[in-house]
Structure 1
Amino acid sequence: MAKRPLFIPKVDSVGVDENLIDFKWFSGFAASQKKKSIESMHSAAIDCGFNNLLEISSKSEDSLGVALSAFNLLITTKKHNRTFSVECAFQSSKVFDNGGPYLDLLEGDSLSAKKDVRLKSSGNVVCFRFFNRDFPIEPRTFFYDWIYINALLQNENLANNILSFDAFTDIEFNPEKSINCQAHSVALYISLINNNVLNEAMSSPDKFLIYTEEHYKKQLRKIAVQQKMI
């Protein structure tokens, strides 16, 4: 058995509800095993009264969920006109005690960026630096949510298609070991829409923090990992 969060966009305020779902876990690294676990989790969530679920990861059975994976979702910087995946943008922005940001990670693929050994050997993350702008590590998911939602805004077709779903999962995300989650970012994006503040909130990082401040204060996710695991 395993427990993973189901991410549900709030309607009456900006934020995301996280409901832990108990389900049968299928161990193994094969994609078929991951898909069995997704099916098991979704079945358990439906039994708990949740419907219209979308798995957001490269293991999703839905092509929309695969496209929304941070490994595949692309973002283009307006000033420099450079395009790369959200995953590459995130990993290449980390500034550590003993190095970084490692901007060469923007040139490679998402998997290589995530597994780069320097991300494990450079100490704790002290901030994020994205094209000369520094972002704090608190709130913990602020920077990841910011770049992911910006990428959604640049991919209108994908962004429109997620509006028909009520809740989101990411089978790869374990709240006991990781902090940031693409399914959470999608749910937060929809909550901003639900509360009619998306454009204003995304006008700047500072405005985004103002609108999400209460949500981040209430975020129930356990942060029992070191900063370098961000």
Structure 2
Amino acid sequence: MDNKILVIEDDPSMGFLLKEFLSANDFEVTLCKDGDSGLTAFRSSGAGFCIIDVMLPGIDGFTLAERIRKENKLVPIIFLTARSLKQDILKGFSLGGDDYITKPFDEDELLCRINAIRNRYSLGSPATSIFMEPVSIGSYAFDIQNQCLIFEDEKERLTYRECDVLRMLCENKNNIVRRSDLLQKYWGKDDYFNGRSLDVFITRLRKRLGKDPSVRIENVPKVGFILSDQSK
């Protein structure tokens, strides 16, 4: 993954500090002060990572992220905002955000979260050998290398986080995957808000796998999930 980061932040002081801090940590930073210029910069800068404030002039951060997701399902997005209500956090994750950080925040923690997402999402990261070729899930083929689900002749691109969660479910097909293991591995922390984020991604994956009734993601209350494949 490249080191280009797009930061959309309307507060001049905060934007300056973020750009200086990230630049000092070897990132190439493009800073925009509103949603409209942020969308234009995303299309032209080739950024491989987005940090988006929610309360922006023009296009708000949620709408901006939604538009970015329509054009690129894979680019990681962190929301960095003063809005800390539960419904805002859940909305951020439901729109495809990879993390949601509330202000004030610790710069070193932000850097750790950025690097954790970059490392996890790197296509060069180690994968288990079962994913060198597409994996069968009922009538689907799960192509981890190209991050997509294939059903008949249709390909549906997955986000990095969807790909991560589905990969872990596939590694343990027809067996329980504990919520705590998923949260610790891909979110870094097992807490309420991360748990709700995980539920959003499970709901998305259920919809993506909904064309084959022999495939289900079963919920084991308070324990975890089972990717059930009854096609054989």
TM-score, reference length from structure 1: 0.30
Q: Hey, which of these two has a bigger chunk of strand by percent?
A: 2
TM-score, reference length from structure 2: 0.30
Larger Cα-atom Rg = 2
Name the structure, 1 or 2, with higher relative contact order (CA <8 Å, separation 6+): 1
